[in-house]
């Protein structure tokens, strides 16, 4: 009888130990599960934060922090020169509609003659049509239709907006018509400033008649100032002449070889100027009306340095904002 009681007690004790061990193991498992759950939560939160940061960074690149400046003005107002100087000072890229059209023609013209069955990058019917029109307009000097110019321009602009290599874009030669200007709103492109270069027709015509270009660098120069540079190197300038030269520092860096290769621009014929000027005047107010909140008028008849300083001040405020 005593033996049975002893055995029974032992069995109960063993069961208690088993239960205790089971409870301990279960508790440990619960603790482990809890720890794993907490780790998973932290990992998920971390991943979510990283994804949010990546989305934020992509959003910032996608136009939020990319500064877009349009240079508006008649032919000869100094847009090319100021864009070049601004590019040198800031980490900006220049987009010029005429250059984009030439680039489009150069990159795609060969595809028209390639075997469409073997060409992986064959042109669509629309692209073929655009290409033929662009080539014709460039050859005869006529204007490329708004729809085609806008399509080619915004393909490049949308690409550059997401390019992290530079902080802003300088747009030169676009828009030239109200329809082109309207396409900025249609494409949801935020413009930070429209620099409107105001210059009288008389001043423009004088510049056109005296404008030279370096065919190597594609930089424009005033023939009158070039003559003063030549005079300075061969003798002395008057006080007034010295003042003019000092206000145009870029000219002093030209070598004799640079000066010797300067030529007249092909599109600076007076009859061509009058056509381009008429187009500009017909669209000037309409274009500005779409950018009144960011339009900044700059006196384009001042010296290159004075105009540059004024535009730099405008861009400094934009960059800081």
For the chain (321 residues), the mean pLDDT of every run of 10, in chain order, is: 48 54 53 51 53 42 71 94 93 92 86 58 80 85 86 91 90 93 91 96 93 91 93 90 85 92 86 88 94 96 93 94 76
In angstroms, how far is CA 255 from the centroid of its own chain? 32
Assigned architecture for domain 67-97+148-209+268-320: 3-Layer(aba) Sandwich (3.40)
Contacts of 318 (CB under 8 A, 6+ apart): 67, 69, 192, 193
Measuring CA to CA, how many Å separate 99 from each of 207, 231, 314? 22, 35, 26
Q: Helix, strand or coil for residue 259? A: helix
> Are the CB atoms for 194 and 291 separated by under 8 Å?
yes
> Are the CB atoms for 229 and 251 separated by under 8 Å?
yes
**35-70: buried (b, 16+ CB within 10 Å) or exposed (e) per residue?**
eeeeeeeeeeeeeeeeeeeeeeeeeeeebeebbbbb
Q: Is the pTM of this model over 0.85?
A: no
> Are the CB atoms for 191 and 133 separated by under 8 Å?
no
DSSP secondary structure code for residue 216 in this structure:
T
Contacts of 70 (CB under 8 A, 6+ apart): 171, 174, 175, 191, 193, 194, 195, 291
> Are the CB atoms for 98 and 138 separated by under 8 Å?
no
* Tokens linked to 198: 């105001």
* Tokens linked to 101: 């059209």
Task: Classify residue 78 as left (phi > 0), alpha (psi -120 to 50) or beta.
Answer: left
Given this model, what pLDDT does residue 164 score?
85
Given this model, what pLDDT does residue 287 score?
95
């Amino acid at each position: 009888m005593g033996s049975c009681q002893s055995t029974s007690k032992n069995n109960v004790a063993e069961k208690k130990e088993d239960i205790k061990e089971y409870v301990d193991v279960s508790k440990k498992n619960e603790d482990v599960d809890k720890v794993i759950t907490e780790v998973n939560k932290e990992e998920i939160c971390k991943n979510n934060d990283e994804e949010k940061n990546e989305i934020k960074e992509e959003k910032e690149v996608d136009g939020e922090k990319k500064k877009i400046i349009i240079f508006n003005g008649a032919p000869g107002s100094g847009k090319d020169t100021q864009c070049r100087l601004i590019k040198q000072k800031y980490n900006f890229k220049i987009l010029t509609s005429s250059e984009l059209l030439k680039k489009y023609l150069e990159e795609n013209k060969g595809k028209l003659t390639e075997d469409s069955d073997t060409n992986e990058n064959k042109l669509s019917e629309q692209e073929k049509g655009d290409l033929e029109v662009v080539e014709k307009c460039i050859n005869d000097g006529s204007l490329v239709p708004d729809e085609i110019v806008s399509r080619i321009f915004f393909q490049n602009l949308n690409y550059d907006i997401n390019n992290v290599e530079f902080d802003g874009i300088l747009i030169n030669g676009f828009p030239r018509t109200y329809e082109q200007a309207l396409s900025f709103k249609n494409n949801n492109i935020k413009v930070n400033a429209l620099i409107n270069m105001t210059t009288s027709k008389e001043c423009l015509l004088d510049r056109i008649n005296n404008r030279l270009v370096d065919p190597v660098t594609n930089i424009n120069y005033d023939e009158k100032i070039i003559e003063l540079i030549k005079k300075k190197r061969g003798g002395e300038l008057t006080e007034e002449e010295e003042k003019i030269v000092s206000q145009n520092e870029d000219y002093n860096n030209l070598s004799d070889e640079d000066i010797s290769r300067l030529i007249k621009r092909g599109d600076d014929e007076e009859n061509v100027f009058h056509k381009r000027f008429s187009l500009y005047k017909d669209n000037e107010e309409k274009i500005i009306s779409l950018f009144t909140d960011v339009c900044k008028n700059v006196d384009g008849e001042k010296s290159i340095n004075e105009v540059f300083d004024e535009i730099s001040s405008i861009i400094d405020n934009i960059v800081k904002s």
